[in-house]
Structure 1
Amino acid sequence: MKAVFYEEHGDTDVLQYGELPDPEPSRGEVLVDVKAGALNHLDVWTRRGMPSPGEFPHIAGSDAAGVVKEVGEDVTRFEPGDRVAVCAGSYCGTCEYCREGEHSLCTSYTIIGEHSTGVHSELTTLPEENLVHVPDHVDWETAAAAPLVFQTAWRMLHSRAELEQGEDVLVLGASGGVGHAAVQIADHAGATVYATGSSQEKLDAASELGADHVINYEAENFAEAIDRLTDGRGVDVVIDHIGGATWQDSMSSLAKGGRIVTCGATGGPKVEVNITDLFWNQYDIMGSTMGSNADIDGVLPLVWDGTLEPQIRETLPMSEIATAHEMLQDREGFGKVVVIPDSEL
């Protein structure tokens, strides 16, 4: 089979699209004929070596969709011909967190494509618990682009922040995968949505997806804009997947009793917190990683029925994977980048 892989960490020039041995399903695994994959900023960090996969060559990618080609022993949920999408979080199923349904808190939680072999290849094998059924009417690009970012955003807003109708939500980086999913989920929950972006094109796209107020962070400080737009109150929830570069302004944007939820640190992992502000204003700071099965079950039906919609900024053949990575790291466009095996074009 052909696959996207690299044999060392580095810039986009380490990416290859070439022949690797065909995988075979082991007990409990499913062999999938991949029809489409989708990129996340996670792919850029993993390619650069953060964290390092266990061995090389490393097949990239955490998002994909396709058709079941073969099933291993003891597989009960799928059979050849089924349409499936990948849910990238792997868990033990037996620890105290898994028993409580909090799979993303599992003591051995890992992410496919980050800590183990990825799925940007013509064929891939996965444990059956890492697959979900895809309805016949859903196109492959949507099926591939939805699971990771919509699961992540759903967990941040619903499972962690416990967002309520009528609250105010600020979504940073609304043009990205998690950001554009969070705008839609918050709007669907009945929140007033504030969204940031770096261009009018991105802000217009966020507005079309449900943002009530948009802020060009290149033109004005978003914390000052939130202060102005909310008459000094601030917002109830901030969705921040950037980290160091935005943290102080995110905290300054909160109303008393507000919650900040973070799932990433693309702008730096180290932040400072003014403890006096934290306790005096009774803020909550919450971490969130991908999601549990309940988050998948909550959000994907809304994607399959069209209530929520992954935005596809570009679809490229897998052989142009370097261009796809460059689009992510250069923050071009709005939404997800999808890659298709060259044999499917």
Structure 2
Amino acid sequence: MEAIVLEGLGQPLTQKEVEKPSPKAGEVLVRLKAASLNRRDWWITQGKYSGISYPTILGSDGAGIVVEAGEGTDADWIGKEVIIYPAYGWGDSDKSQSKDFSIIGLPPYQGTFAEYISVPVEHLQFKPAELSWEQAATLPVAGLTAYRATFTKGQAKAGDTVLITGVGGGAGTFALQYALAAGCKVFVTSGSGEKIQRAIKMGAAAGVSYKAQDWAEQLLELSGGGFDVIVDSALGEGFTKLVDICKPGGRIAFFGGTAGNIPELNGRKIFWRHITLLGTTLGTFDEFGEMLAYVNEHKIEPVIDEVFPLADAEKAIRTMDNSTQFGKLVLSIG
């Protein structure tokens, strides 16, 4: 089969002929139709992700058709259109992942930038019929991460005032769509005026450039007093200001750390105003199903910036160098 392989640090992604996987007992073979890129893939190419080994087939998001079932696996899955849950070893608790947790796209688990992938049958969910292959493939990592941050952790509900920082990335854009569908009043930040305008066209009430010296003060005034829920993926020095613009009793759910670590926080502000800080990563398989049901119910159409053929995976990932994309980058496979 054809697959996109990262041979080593500093090497470009290259398309190679590799051995097609065979499904083991309890697994199915999926003929992938589309895969999407995540910031995780970019970090791996930079050598800045834990557990990297080479060579590796990248990709954590995939959608396709089941074409083969391993021993003891229900053959009724064959021919079904599916989306793949991207994690192994979450564990039994819905509060956090276990120490065995890992995400496909690094050894020992082959990624989705390939024509075929073998996965446990319990990792499958049916593809929403109204979504294209490319749209469906955007959902696993970014869609699930945003769902858990917005609802499981942030507890966003109709009437809440919500802030999404760094809108334009995959998870941030999904969080915007989810919160709007829930009936929230949503505000955004970005370093790009164009991305802010796109978010407003999608339904955001307003947006502010985080490059502005007074971005927090602007948001406090625009929102009429602060935010019930803040969804953040950057951390960094600006995180301290998120505490200042969070309403009493508000929640700040955060994942990722593209702007670096959190500097010293004023704990007195946090406990006196009953603010809750909520770290989160990906989500459970049950939340994966809930997220897909939510997308179906609200007819959410994932935002795609550009679709590339599989052979152009290197070109696609270079698009992430300057974070100019709005929404997801997708690989069309076959």
TM-score category of the 2 structures, normalised to the smaller one: over 0.9
| Matching residue of 1:123 | 116
Taking the TM superposition and a 5 Å limit, the aligned residue runs for 1:182-221 are 182-219=175-212, 221=214
| Matching residue of 1:48 | 46
| Matching residue of 1:145 | 138
The answer on 1:297 being equivalent to 2:308 is no
Distance 1:197-1:78 versus aligned 2 partners, 3 A rule = farther
Distance 1:275-1:57 versus aligned 2 partners, 3 A rule = same
| Matching residue of 2:4 | 4
| Matching residue of 1:34 | 32
**Equivalent residue pairs, number:** 333
| Matching residue of 2:215 | 222
Give the Å deviation of 1:51: 2.9
| Matching residue of 1:21 | 19
Q: Which residue among 321, 326, 338 is the counterpart of 2:318?
A: 326
Q: Which moved more, 1:79-88 or 1:171-180?
A: 79-88
**Structure 1: gaps (5+ residues):** none
| Matching residue of 2:246 | 254
Contact preservation (8 Å) 1:138, 1:304: no
Contact preservation (8 Å) 1:68, 1:78: no
Q: Tell me the percent identity.
A: 33
State the TM-score, normalized to the length of structure 2: 0.93
Give the Å deviation of 1:220: 5.5
The answer on 1:339 being equivalent to 2:331 is yes
Contact preservation (8 Å) 1:36, 1:66: yes
**Alpha-carbon distance in 2 for matches of 1:92, 1:290:** 10
Deviations 1:91-148 (A, max 9, x none): 265x4x1xxxx17523422111256321110111111122211144421001101222
Give the Å deviation of 1:304: 3.7
Contact preservation (8 Å) 1:86, 1:131: yes
**Alpha-carbon distance in 2 for matches of 1:179, 1:221:** 22
Q: Which moved more, 1:266-275 or 1:15-24?
A: 266-275
**Alpha-carbon distance in 1 for matches of 2:87, 2:308:** 25
Give the SS at the match of 2:77.
coil
Taking the TM superposition and a 5 Å limit, the aligned residue runs for 1:230-269 are 230-231=223-224, 233-269=225-261
Give the Å deviation of 1:164: 2.5
Deviations 1:139-198 (A, max 9, x none): 100110122212111111111121232111100111110111001111111211011123
Give the SS at the match of 1:236.
strand
**Alpha-carbon distance in 2 for matches of 1:183, 1:238:** 11
| Matching residue of 1:113 | 105
Give the SS at the match of 1:14.
coil
Amino acid corresponding to residue 173 of structure 1 in structure 2: G
Contact preservation (8 Å) 2:304, 2:326: yes
Give the SS at the match of 1:8.
coil
Distance 1:196-1:80 versus aligned 2 partners, 3 A rule = same
Amino acid corresponding to residue 121 of structure 1 in structure 2: A
Distance 1:237-1:105 versus aligned 2 partners, 3 A rule = same
Distance 1:78-1:103 versus aligned 2 partners, 3 A rule = farther
